[in-house]
Structure 1
């Protein structure tokens, strides 16, 4: 059976009805914009096959006229293929606008990590987090590659930063539970986590050959990579309270000192939607890090997934609003 993806080349915009002539007579779901969900006649839609970290044959996305114009901003000069896309340092930070629907797996080679290989994610991080600190110093980020990812240098010091996708979906740790989800449910959760709201930057340099924050939060069984639990540890760092990540956060105390307070940290990285007042909004019941951090049953996983999706959607909306005034 012919795979639809074999009918179109990479990064080659095509009118949907030309590639798939039967789409007008089939399920409206097949004539839906992948970004906004608008259903239109197939001759008004554009289909593009993108490279994708999880799909060796690429990934098809359908675009309405408005979102095709935005998608086209991610291609440069109409060329196609990885050689056509310059590195992040080649893009001016004020163009194009931040697209909070953009899936960073799209410009990542198959089998590679978007946190390292997506030029779009790298550029978005530079644009969003290069801003004034509470003390008035600009936290300008420069391209640190190939030796690092991003770097800041000022009178505050030198800081090497790395990117991290922060919303774990537990495909291995909760494999049996994930297998019971409805068709497409897990994929949608996974993919939304690779929009800008599902990512963060942390110090990426090792100190004393010990774990970075990325490593420690991923390997500690009481955190299991969860962002809500990580931010609760950061909150406690600012108040002098102990947490499972106390030691690693203390190693990077100069980074957290840049933002002066927990509120300053939250404001800088637009994390307000993870809070209720000054308290972290947890995606699962919380009992002072005593409870399992990975969902143990389907009901708990669904609650975790729903709360995580709410946060990603809310933070994406906040980032989109902020990006309009950059």
Structure 2
């Protein structure tokens, strides 16, 4: 039986420091996890290819790429967060988000605008946070507007594969990121995208860190159980 080491730090398999670009082990893990029947009933058949960077080619004639789900903020934003948390805490967060439980795939082919990966990274109401991205996806399935609506709409055929938000959550083993009513569990207080997405204090940064590590730990456990079911 194929296995995935849920404790493996995929930075160790990257020459450039970004596993989403060049970690063959990470892309092999994605293939193992997501090569399965979709909620719409179609089979998703994945093959890892390399064309300057690793990509996943599939039988639906589209490319997918890996994406780190949760940012750690450290070293970004002109050093705004430098010294906010002990280095050991930052190191733990940086490591945890680079295990398999901290990664997902999105469409990588360009459609005359930002991909989902790119849009959530540059949008100032999202700042790459996965909980906010997930809220945008939830609203997309309900035909509601959000800061990422245009990017999600460009790839509506991808999201149609999962039928609805519940299908998307279950397929990608994201059950711990939502509650029993499929409402997103936010890592920081949420005010309908009104408040700044970045932590505003050291306490908020630590709150975010603890919440994200807990989510990734639980998803790693779920991934392990899914492979050994």
Q: TM-score range by the shorter chain?
A: over 0.9
RMSD: 1.4
8 Å Cα contact 2:67-2:103 kept in structure 1: yes
Larger RCO, structure (CA 8 Å, separation 6 or more): 2
CA apart distance, 1:180: 3.0
Helix, strand or coil at the partner of 1:162: strand
Say which of 15, 18, 34 aligns to 1:113: 18
What is the alpha-carbon distance in structure 1 between the residues aligned to residue 40 and residue 96 of structure 2? 34
Which residue is 1:234 aligned to? 137
Say which of 77, 82, 96 aligns to 1:192: 96
What is the alpha-carbon distance in structure 1 between the residues aligned to residue 128 and residue 45 of structure 2? 27
Runs of 4+ in 1 over 6 A off after TM superposition: none
CA apart distance, 1:181: 1.4
Helix, strand or coil at the partner of 2:8: coil
TM-score by length of 1: 0.67
Flag the structure with larger Rg: 1
What is the alpha-carbon distance in structure 2 between the residues aligned to residue 294 and residue 174 of structure 1? 13
Say which of 130, 137, 150 aligns to 2:56: 150
What is the alpha-carbon distance in structure 2 between the residues aligned to residue 281 and residue 273 of structure 1? 8
Q: Is 2:42 the partner of 1:137?
A: yes
Q: Is 2:168 the partner of 1:262?
A: no
What is the alpha-carbon distance in structure 2 between the residues aligned to residue 195 and residue 135 of structure 1? 28
8 Å Cα contact 1:237-1:246 kept in structure 2: yes
Q: Is 2:215 the partner of 1:311?
A: yes
What is the alpha-carbon distance in structure 2 between the residues aligned to residue 276 and residue 174 of structure 1? 35
The aligned runs of 1:120-131 (5 Å cut-off) are: 120-131=25-36
User: Cα deviations across residues 37-61 of structure 1 (Å, max 9, x unaligned)?
Assistant: xxxxxxxxxxxxxxxxxxxxxxxxx
What is the alpha-carbon distance in structure 2 between the residues aligned to residue 107 and residue 167 of structure 1? 19
What is the alpha-carbon distance in structure 2 between the residues aligned to residue 304 and residue 174 of structure 1? 19
CA apart distance, 1:257: 0.3
Higher strand proportion: 1
Q: Which runs of 5+ in 2 are unaligned?
A: none
Q: Is 2:68 the partner of 1:162?
A: no
Helix, strand or coil at the partner of 2:67: strand
What is the alpha-carbon distance in structure 1 between the residues aligned to residue 101 and residue 17 of structure 2? 20
User: Cα deviations across residues 268-326 of structure 1 (Å, max 9, x unaligned)?
Assistant: 1000000012100000000000000011110111111111011000100000100113x
8 Å Cα contact 1:273-1:314 kept in structure 2: yes
Which residue is 2:175 aligned to? 272
Q: Which runs of 5+ in 1 are unaligned?
A: 1-93
CA apart distance, 1:188: 1.1
Which residue is 1:26 aligned to? none
TM-score by length of 2: 0.95
Q: Is 2:131 the partner of 1:225?
A: no
The aligned runs of 1:265-304 (5 Å cut-off) are: 265-277=168-180, 278-304=182-208
What is the alpha-carbon distance in structure 2 between the residues aligned to residue 198 and residue 192 of structure 1? 7
